[in-house]
């Protein structure tokens, strides 16, 4: 069993950027070579800006290469809560933005000829009980009224048309959800960015951002120093001591994944007959999909802990048991990969993007980073080069987590609460 992300292990790197010379200056310096950073770099360079992307590790090493490979519709907080918070009109606009984000991925794939198995196979959200099925019907009605947007509720008696399991009480199908090989996609973005002149520097940890009296920043890295007129923080769940203000507002929650051996075609088709991107409604959610080579990817918040080799192996045991519970006929199936990564949650489970003290940022994707990071990277770049952009999240209050100044000591408390909620629901 490999302790590396399946996506990165099965993608061909677009290049080796560990030895790329560090420029002396750039119009824009971006911290993080994932979806946010690379999408922003590509867009800014296309508008004539000189751009350098800096990463402590390598392209896609963080959240962009450690997720489930799903670009899924719907707000992380849920449509009902969004309506209560922001009103019907604003909630509908926010919901639509997630679909625009998936469109952005599709446009980038086509424009740059990125071979990443992008497929709009739809999203399947699964209910644990009849009450949740009823809530799905309310969501269906609200989407029809607010946005003329069609989704389908699947009752228990018809569930086998969508999933080869009796574990769930029903589901909601949104046809716009998509799957993507994120390893190939992130390297495709990196290749496209370098072709338009972006300087991509791996193994270049940013250690300090010092404001210049004349404007802009001095960017100190482990590979030298550069001058930048603007800086974008694109560090997702790996936001740390470099930016304390953002760290206090970012909850890094471990999400863990296993991937099975290649399955016989009839078994893969039994699991998810329509190849949907699937997840359930538990707080300790399970999410799963069939990979392009007919493996089952099965992930979830197996443990409220940060990723490490020990935590990943323990999580693999938990997820293997969960997979066998949902799909009993997979109990003897071999697991070939397991890994963990960090999801960047926020107090309100909303995206947050904007500028503070001359530092631009986009964070808080809360499990929807494949599409929202790609989309918001582009929007932040447009804003930074003075072009029209969309940022529905800029005015949202970005609240700090009480008592959060360093490592997330509170994760076991959140995990215990989630277990109780799931048990009694």
Does position 164 have pLDDT exceeding 60, yes or no?
yes
Cα 132 from Cα 149, distance rounded (Å):
20
Angle at the Cα of 238 (from 35 to 374), degrees rounded to 5? Answer: 15
Q: Are residues 231 and 219 in contact, defined by beta-carbon separation less than 8 angstroms?
A: yes
Cα 179 from Cα 387, distance rounded (Å):
30
pLDDT of the residue at 70: 97
Cα 4 from Cα 52, distance rounded (Å):
27
Out of 20-24, 75-79, 94-98, 237-241, which region has the weakest mean confidence (pLDDT)?
75-79
Taking alpha carbons only, the member of 69, 108, 97 closest to residue 188 is 108
pTM to 2 decimals?
0.95
Q: What does the buried/exposed string (b/e) look like for 276-307 if buried means 16 or more CB atoms within 10 Å of the residue's CB? A: bbbbbbbebbbbbbbbeebbbbbbbbbbbbbb
Contacts of residue 53, Cβ cutoff 8 Å, sequence gap at least 6:
30, 32, 33, 37, 38, 41, 193, 198, 199, 200, 201
Angle at the Cα of 422 (from 298 to 299), degrees rounded to 5? Answer: 10
What is the bridge-based pairing of β-strands 217-221 and 286-290?
unpaired
- Tokens at 251, concatenated: 């909850």
Cα 352 from Cα 208, distance rounded (Å):
22
Does position 292 have pLDDT exceeding 70, yes or no?
yes
Residue 75 carries which DSSP code?
Answer: -
- 342-359 pLDDT per residue, tens: 989 999 999 999 999 999
- Indicate the average pLDDT of the chain: 94
Cα 300 from Cα 380, distance rounded (Å):
30
Dihedral pair phi/psi, residue 351, rounded to 5°: -65, 145
Instruction: Report the pLDDT averaged over residues 321-328.
Output: 97
**Domains of the chain, CATH where assigned:** 6-415 (3.50.50.60)
Taking alpha carbons only, the member of 75, 147, 56 closest to residue 372 is 75
pLDDT of the residue at 415: 60
- 385-425 pLDDT per residue, tens: 999 999 999 999 999 999 888 877 666 666 665 565 666 66
């190849």: which residue's tokens?
Answer: 275
At residue 184 the predicted structure's pLDDT band, cuts being 50, 70 and 90, is very high
Sheet strand arrangement including 277-280: 152-155, 170-174, 123-127, 277-280, 286-290, 296-300, 251-260, 335-345
Taking alpha carbons only, the member of 407, 408, 396, 389 closest to residue 363 is 396
Tally of CB atoms within 10 A around 311: 16
Q: Where are the alpha helices (DSSP H) in 223-330?
A: 244-247, 265-271, 309-326
Q: Which residue has the higher pLDDT, 408 or 188?
A: 188
């Amino acid at each position: 069993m490999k302790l590396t992300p399946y996506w990165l292990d099965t993608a061909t790197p677009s290049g080796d950027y560990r030895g790329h010379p560090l420029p002396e200056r750039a119009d824009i310096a971006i911290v993080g070579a994932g979806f946010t950073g690379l999408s922003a770099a590509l867009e800014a360079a296309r508008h004539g800006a000189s751009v350098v992307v800096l990463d402590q590790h390598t392209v896609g090493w963080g959240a962009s290469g450690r997720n489930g490979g799903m670009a899924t519709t719907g707000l992380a907080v849920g449509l009902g809560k969004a309506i209560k918070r922001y009103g019907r009109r604003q909630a509908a606009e926010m919901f639509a933005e997630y679909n625009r984000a998936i469109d952005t991925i599709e446009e980038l794939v086509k424009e740059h000829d990125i071979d990443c198995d992008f497929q709009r196979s739809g999203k399947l959200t699964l209910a644990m009980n009849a009450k949740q099925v009823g809530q799905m019907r309310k969501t269906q009605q609200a989407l029809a009224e607010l946005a003329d947007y069609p989704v389908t509720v699947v009752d228990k008696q018809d569930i086998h048309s969508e999933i080869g399991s009796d574990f769930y009480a029903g589901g909601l199908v949104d046809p716009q959800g998509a799957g993507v090989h994120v390893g190939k996609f992130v390297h495709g973005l990196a290749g496209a960015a370098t072709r338009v002149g972006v300087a991509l520097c791996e193994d270049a940890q940013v250690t300090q951002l010092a404001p210049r009296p004349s404007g802009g920043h001095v960017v100190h890295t482990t590979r030298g120093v550069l001058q930048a007129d603007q800086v974008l923080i694109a560090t997702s769940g790996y936001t740390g001591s470099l930016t304390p203000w953002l760290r206090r507002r970012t909850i890094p929650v471990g999400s863990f994944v296993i991937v099975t051996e290649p399955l016989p075609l009839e078994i893969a088709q039994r699991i998810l007959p329509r190849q949907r991107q699937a997840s359930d409604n538990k707080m300790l959610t399970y999410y799963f999909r069939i990979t392009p080579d007919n493996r089952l990817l099965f992930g979830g918040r197996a443990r409220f802990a940060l990723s490490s080799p020990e935590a990943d192996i323990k999580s693999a045991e938990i997820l293997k048991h969960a997979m066998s519970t949902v799909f009993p006929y997979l109990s003897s199936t071999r697991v070939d990969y397991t890994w963990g990564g960090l999801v960047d949650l926020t107090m309100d489970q909303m995206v947050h993007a904007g500028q503070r003290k001359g530092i631009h940022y986009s964070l808080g994707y809360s499990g929807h980073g494949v599409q929202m990071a790609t989309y918001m990277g582009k929007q932040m770049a447009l804003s930074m080069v003075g072009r029209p952009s969309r940022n529905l999240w800029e005015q949202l209050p970005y609240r700090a987590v009480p008592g959060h100044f360093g490592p997330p000591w509170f994760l076991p408390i959140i995990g215990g609460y989630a277990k109780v909620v799931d048990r009694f629901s």
